[in-house]
Amino acid sequence: MIYFNKKTLEYHLSNGKISYIFRVMEATGIMEQLYFGAAIDNYDSYDFLIERESKPGNNQIEGSQITNLDDIKQEMPVYGTTDFRQPAVEIVYPSGDRISHFAYDRHVISQGKAPIKGLPSTFGKAEDVEVLSIFLKDRYSDLEIELRYAMYQAFPVITRQNVIRNAGEQSHQLETFLSLNLDLPNENYDWLHLHGAWAREAQLSRDHLAVGIQQIGSTRGASSHMHNPFISLCPPETTETQGKAYSFSLIYSGNFLAQVQLDTYDIARVQLGINPFQFSWELAQNGSFTTPEAVMVYSQEGLNGMSQTYHEFYQAHLINQKWVHQTRPVLINNWEATYFDFDEEKILNIAKKAKDLGIDLFVLDDGWFGTRDTDNGSLGNWAPDLRKLPNGISGLATKIVDLGLKFGLWFEPEMVSVDTPLFAEHPDWRIGNPDKHISHGRNQFVLDFSRPEVVENIFEQIDKVLSQAPISYIKWDMNRYISEGYSTALAAKNQGELCHRYILGVYDLYEKILEKYPDLLIESCAGGGGRFDPALLYYAPQAWASDDTDAVERLKIQYGTSMVYPLSAIGSHVSEVPNHQVGRLTPLKTRANVAMLGTFGYELDITNFSDEESAEIRQQIATFKGYQDLIHSGLFYRLKSPFEGNECAWMVVAKDQTEALVGWYQVLAKPNPAYQRIRLAGLNPDKNYRIESISEERKGKDLMSIGLLLGENFLGRPENEQGRPMPGDFNSRLFYLSEKI
């Protein structure tokens, strides 16, 4: 997959789906980017891709008018080589200047890719992936950069990761070191990304790319509710199903930057990596720094093609493989049912009823430890509250397991409250400068996970709970951002290392826990989707997508999240009405029809449900379990966007096209509406499908061209002669299709 032309010093990475081409520039040794996109043939030379014209400006080489790097596309641009755009690496030299020149030295090609300890990254066997490492040497120091490209056989994907090493004696300060730089010729791009806030995550945004810098990112210590580490560039004509999309996702949970600089020569410089804001890293003698990995996807099948590639690729080469093919439990979480107000009896009553309804796993949420009756204390004191749970967690968990359920528990490992023994003993373990103001967030403070002893302390506390009780799942929460980054353990010159070291500490704790408890299912959470990123999926195969459990809001949140993340990763529950976040009253059926296109669970008080409601829930769970394998392993198609109108539709098709599940949702009812139909996707055109809920049979190609005729949307009176009620607001339907042989 990796071709190297010794004569021309050109590299061509191609797996027959995509091509990526770059070369070593003569005289300067700088890496020039030539092409990224649909696969092209292998040629003796790619000099037809080299664009050069003499232009006024600063030139690298005396006597040459075409060595101005300001309009040359590059792999690892730096300051000090006549390129004035944003650099991908910036170093402060002992002399105080920031002038670099990284020139080609050699390359190494290897087969297979092992995971990197402590830094979530993609992995693959020798037959799946080939890795090219290009080594660049700095002309002004003993620094060396390795540009690492992984090309996967089966996907239109290349991953990028960079390493810098200091073989010299003098320390250098790394101020910027991005994971990916890609200079693309502009194609009148739109840029697309996901933005939001607490309870309103993953809102889709698509705008025309303007000249200048367009940037998203996080400076909050977590990837954040506000932005997801993902962007895509596509020409205006690209739709869900057609057209090109160049997409970029970063496997990282901390402060990130994703930006595009459209310059005056119409080159779009795409950059992804750790946010240089607040970042600085000391490269001491023999020191090195490895960036997070970035994943570039090229799709010719529109945004849906892009999403399917991310879903399939992350399931095959990033997510904890133990969980990819294992059926996930249908869970019930007590948070919205009880909040902090529970005791053992109340919990057992919910669990008994849950068992009766067919639920697999009971999750005890916040409030089980210390003396936590509200959200203003006890974090960091992970000892069971014996007032609420006289038999502790082990007693409760044993009783729940004896009922025939699995037991799961909530933790917020990275936090501390001031009323705890941990804080009394180690006030300096809190992030912040003790001589300056330190803001609280939800009455709590962030523990300094850049310190191994802090991670170790929390590991020991969690380990104590896990080792004494039958716990098969944990929900790992994180409910505030780092607002005043400072570590009392770091020297003044190393303060810029805190946020990255913090995230490495988080990964370290995940590894410690999973090493000792490899069968533990972890669901990550950060006040909902505040840290929903590929890196955490490496450890925790599912993430709570949002604290907003309203079915209508969830349409947008789950639709947006599906841009990058597979349905098996999207934590989704049926919750109470009126909904606790927006006060909306939606039918139980619609709440389930939305939650089923995710991990599926319940989060409401089921103990006083009527027989009729209980029967409905029992039926929902049975329905979900019947479709679960299809939902979690099929190909996902978005059919109608909730961001564009009153309806939303999506479907999952089995890879062998023998079955499919379609979800259709209408937000508000309309009087005397137009007829509606949804055009399906991904079916085998020549197969006949039986549509279960309407007992009809149709050809795949007809369902994709004519569509499913919906009907049953309006009556003009409360019910018809057969007793069918008129669907009101928040109506939804699921259609199961199976191949008719």
Tell me how far, at minimum, the Cβ of 536 lies from ligand GLA, in Å: 14
Q: Which stretch binds ligand GLA (CB under 6 A): 49-57, 204-212, 485-493, 525-533?
A: 525-533
Which tokens belong to 635? 């190909």
Question: What minimum distance in Å lies between the beta carbon of 219 and ligand GLA?
Answer: 21
Q: Which residue is nearest to ligand GLA (CB)?
A: 366
Query: What six digits make up the tokens of 202?
Result: 């993953």
Of 525, 536, 537, 574, which lies in the binding site for ligand GLA, with binding defined by CB under 6 A?
525
Question: Is the distance from CB of 634 to CB of 370 less than 8 angstroms?
Answer: no
Q: Structure tokens of 307?
A: 């999403």
Range 593-652, binding ligand GLA (CB under 6 A) = none
Q: Is 365 in the site for ligand GLA (CB under 6 A)?
A: yes
Q: Could you tell me the smallest distance in angstroms from the CB atom of residue 254 to ligand GLA?
A: 19
**Closer CB to ligand GLA, 335 or 664, in the complex:** 335
| Among the listed residues 252, 449, 539, 544, the single contact to ligand GLA using CB under 6 A | 544
SS (H, E, C) 636-690: EEEEECCCCCCEEEEEEECCCCCEEEEEEEECCCCCCCCCCEECCCCCCCCCEEE
- Biggest alpha carbon distance in the chain? 90
Which bin fits 721, alpha (ψ -120 to 50), beta or left (φ > 0)?
alpha
Residues 730, 521: Cα–Cα separation, whole Å = 33
Q: CA-CA distance, 403 to 285, in Å (whole number)?
A: 59
The span of 182-190, 313-321, 521-529, 655-663 binding ligand GLA (CB under 6 A) equals: 521-529
Minimum CB–partner distance for residue 332 and ligand GLA (Å): 13
Please give the backbone phi and psi of residue 665, each rounded to the nearest 5 degrees, phi first: -140, 135
547 is catalytic: yes
Which residue from 658, 664, 660, 659 is spatially nearest to 639, judged by alpha carbons?
664
Site string for ligand GLA, 452-481 (x = CB under 6 A): -------------------------x-x--
The first and second tokens of residue 205, run together, are 């945004």
Residues 483-512 that bind ligand GLA (CB under 6 A): none
512 vs 459: CA distance, rounded Å: 7
Cβ 392 to ligand GLA shortest distance, Å: 20
Show the 3-state SS of 219-232. CCCCCCCCEEEEEE
Q: How far is the CB of 327 from ligand GLA (least distance, A)?
A: 23
What residues contact 465, with CB distance under 8 A and at least 6 apart?
382, 384, 393, 409, 471
Nearest approach in angstroms of CB 513 to ligand GLA is: 18
Q: Where are the alpha helices (DSSP H) in 550-648?
A: 551-561, 588-595, 611-633
Q: Which two tokens stand for residue 619?
A: 């039926």
Q: Alpha-carbon distance 126 to 657, whole Å?
A: 30
C-alpha 460, offset from chain centre: 28
Helix (H) or strand (E) holding 151: strand 143-152
Of 199 and 649, which CB lies nearer to ligand GLA in the complex structure? 199
Find the shortest distance in angstroms from Cβ 373 to ligand GLA: 12
The SS3 call for residue 496 is helix
Helix axes of 588-595 and 551-561: crossing angle, nearest 10 degrees: 10
Nearest approach, Cβ of residue 366 and ligand GLA (Å)? 3
Question: 128, 365, 547, 550: which one is catalytic?
Answer: 547
Q: At closest approach, how far in Å is the CB of 135 from ligand GLA? A: 44
Question: Which of 345-353, 524-532, 583-591, 696-704 is the region at the interface with ligand GLA (rule: CB under 6 A)?
Answer: 524-532
Q: Which is nearer to ligand GLA, 77 or 571 (CB)?
A: 571
Q: CB of residue 372 vs ligand GLA: minimum separation in angstroms?
A: 9
Stretch (H or E) spanning 293: strand 293-299
Tell me which of 70, 366, 414, 523 binds ligand GLA, using CB under 6 A.
366
Nearer to ligand GLA, 23 or 580 (CB): 580
Q: Which is nearer to ligand GLA, 408 or 496 (CB)?
A: 408
Give the range of 127-135, 168-176, 523-531, 569-577 binding ligand GLA by CB under 6 A: 523-531
Residue pair 591/575 in contact (Cβ under 8 Å)? The answer is yes
Q: Which two tokens stand for residue 348?
A: 């057992």
Cβ burial of 235 (10 Å; 0-12, 13-18, 19+) is middle
CA-to-CA separations, 523 to 65, 410, 412, 480, in angstroms, rounded: 57, 9, 12, 17
Calculate the alpha carbon distances from 439 to 91, 424, 499, 541 in Å.
32, 18, 17, 32
Q: What is the distance in angstroms between the CA of the first residue and the CA of the last residue of the chain?
A: 40
Residue whose CB is less far from ligand GLA, 256 or 544 = 544
Site string for ligand GLA, 320-359 (x = CB under 6 A): ---------------x------------------------
DSSP letter at 377 equals: S
| Cβ at position 365, least distance to ligand GLA in Å | 5
Judged by beta carbon, residue 248 or residue 544, the one nearer ligand GLA is 544
Between 179 and 581, name the residue whose CB sits nearer to ligand GLA: 581
Q: How many helices and strands in the chain, by DSSP H and E? A: 13, 39
* Contact stretch for ligand GLA (CB under 6 A) within 46-54, 174-182, 520-528, 659-667: 520-528
Options 477, 508, 533, 550, the catalytic residue: 477
Judged by CB under 6 A, how many residues of this single chain contact ligand GLA? 11
Kindly tell me which of 378 and 479 has the beta carbon lying closer to ligand GLA.
479
What DSSP element (H or E) covers 246?
strand 245-251
Closer residue to ligand GLA (CB): 272 or 577: 577
- Which of 120, 380, 528, 642 is in the footprint of ligand GLA by CB under 6 A? 528
Angle subtended at Cα 339 by Cα 337 and Cα 341, rounded to the nearest 5 degrees: 100
Chain centroid to CA 188? 27
**Strand 659-666 with 647-653, pairing:** antiparallel
Among the residue ranges 204-212, 285-293, 522-530, 705-713, the one whose residues contact ligand GLA (CB under 6 A) = 522-530
Minimum separation from the CB atom of position 527 to ligand GLA (A): 4
Q: Which is nearer to ligand GLA, 577 or 662 (CB)?
A: 577
DSSP alpha helices (H): ranges in 407-485? 421-425, 452-468
Query: With respect to ligand GLA, which residue has the nearer C-beta, 483 or 738?
Result: 483
- Residue closer to ligand GLA (CB basis): 88 or 199: 199
Is 47 designated active site? no
Among 527, 571, 642, 727, binds ligand GLA (CB under 6 A): 527
Nearest alpha carbon to residue 395 among 326, 341, 473, 343? 343
Q: Which of 79, 155, 252, 410 binds ligand GLA (CB under 6 A)?
A: 410
CA dihedral 294, 298, 302, 306 (to 10 degrees): -40
Dihedral (C-alpha) 123, 128, 130, 131: value to the nearest 10 degrees?
A: -10
Q: Which residues participate in catalysis according to the annotation? A: 477, 547
Which residues contact ligand GLA (rule: CB under 6 A)? Answer: 335, 365-366, 410, 477, 479, 525, 527-528, 544, 547
